Structure 1
Amino acid sequence: MASEVSHRIIRTNGINMHIAEQGSGPVVLLIHGFPELWYSWRHQIRELAMAGYHAVAPDMRGYGDTDVPLGVHNYSHLRLVGDLIGLLDALGHHKVFVVGHDWGSIVASHLCLFRPDRVIALVNLSVPYRPRDPTKSPVEKMRSLLGEGYYICRFQEPGKAEEEFARYNYTEIMKKFLLGTLPGGLFSVSTDQGILDTLETPATLPSWMTEEDIQYFAKMFAKTGFTGGLNYYRVLDLDWELLAPWTGAEITVPTKYIVGDKDLVYNTLGTKNYVHEGGLKKNVPFLEEIVVIKDGHHFIQQEKSHEISQHILDFFGKFKLSAL
Structure 2
Amino acid sequence: MGGIEHRMVSVNGITMHIAEKGPKEGPVVLLLHGFPDLWYTWRHQITGLSSLGYRAIAPDLRGYGDTDSPESFSEYTCLNVVGDLVALMDSVAGDQEKVFLVAHDWGAIIGWFICWFRPDKIKGFVCLSVPYRPRHPKVKPLQGFKAVFGDDYYICRFQEPGKIEGEIASAGPRRVLRNIFTGRALGPPILPKEKPFGENPNPNSEDIELPEWFSKEDLEFYVSKFEKAGFTGGLNYYRAMDLNWELTAPWTGAKIHVPVKFITGDFDTVYTTPGIKEYIHGGGFAADVPNLKEIVVIEDAGHFVNQEKPQEVTAHINDFFTKLQNNN
TM-score, normalised to structure 1, is: 0.95
Q: Which runs of 5+ in 1 are unaligned?
A: none
Amino acid in the other structure paired with 1:246? W
Q: Larger deviation: 102-111 or 84-93?
A: 84-93
What is residue 15 of structure 2 aligned with on the other side?
A: 16
What is residue 206 of structure 1 aligned with on the other side?
A: 211
Residue 36 of structure 1: SS of its match in structure 2? coil
Q: In structure 2, which of residues 110, 115, 122 is the aligned counterpart of residue 112 of structure 1? A: 115
Structure 1 residue 321: deviation in Å? 5.1
Matched, 1:234 2:239: yes
Hey, what's the Cα distance between the residues in 1 that align with 2:319 and 2:130? 20
- Structural mapping, 1:128-207, within 5 Å: 128-182=131-185, 185-190=187-192, 192-197=193-198, 203-207=208-212
Structure 1 residue 276: deviation in Å? 0.4
Question: Is the CA contact 1:8–1:18 (under 8 Å) kept in the aligned structure 2?
Answer: yes
What is residue 287 of structure 2 aligned with on the other side?
A: 282
Hey, what's the Cα distance between the residues in 2 that align with 1:210 and 1:57? 21
- Structural mapping, 1:61-140, within 5 Å: 61-91=62-92, 92=94, 93-140=96-143
Hey, what's the Cα distance between the residues in 2 that align with 1:94 and 1:160? 43
Q: Larger deviation: 92-101 or 214-223?
A: 92-101
Q: Deviations over 1:285-309 (max 9, x none)?
A: 0000000111110011000111000
Structure 1 residue 199: deviation in Å? 9.9
Hey, what's the Cα distance between the residues in 1 that align with 2:11 and 2:66? 14
Hey, what's the Cα distance between the residues in 1 that align with 2:284 and 2:277? 10
TM-score, normalised to structure 2, is: 0.93
Hey, what's the Cα distance between the residues in 1 that align with 2:191 and 2:226? 24
Structure 1 residue 322: deviation in Å? 7.2
Hey, what's the Cα distance between the residues in 1 that align with 2:199 and 2:238? 20
CA-based RMSD of the aligned residues comes to 1.8
Question: Is the CA contact 2:266–2:301 (under 8 Å) kept in the aligned structure 1?
Answer: yes
Hey, what's the Cα distance between the residues in 1 that align with 2:139 and 2:17? 36
What is residue 36 of structure 1 aligned with on the other side?
A: 37
What is residue 272 of structure 1 aligned with on the other side?
A: 277
Matched, 1:319 2:324: yes
Structure 1 residue 185: deviation in Å? 4.7
Structure 1 residue 176: deviation in Å? 1.2
Q: Report percent identity of matched pairs.
A: 50
Amino acid in the other structure paired with 2:34? G
Hey, what's the Cα distance between the residues in 2 that align with 1:266 and 1:176? 19
Hey, what's the Cα distance between the residues in 1 that align with 2:257 and 2:311? 28
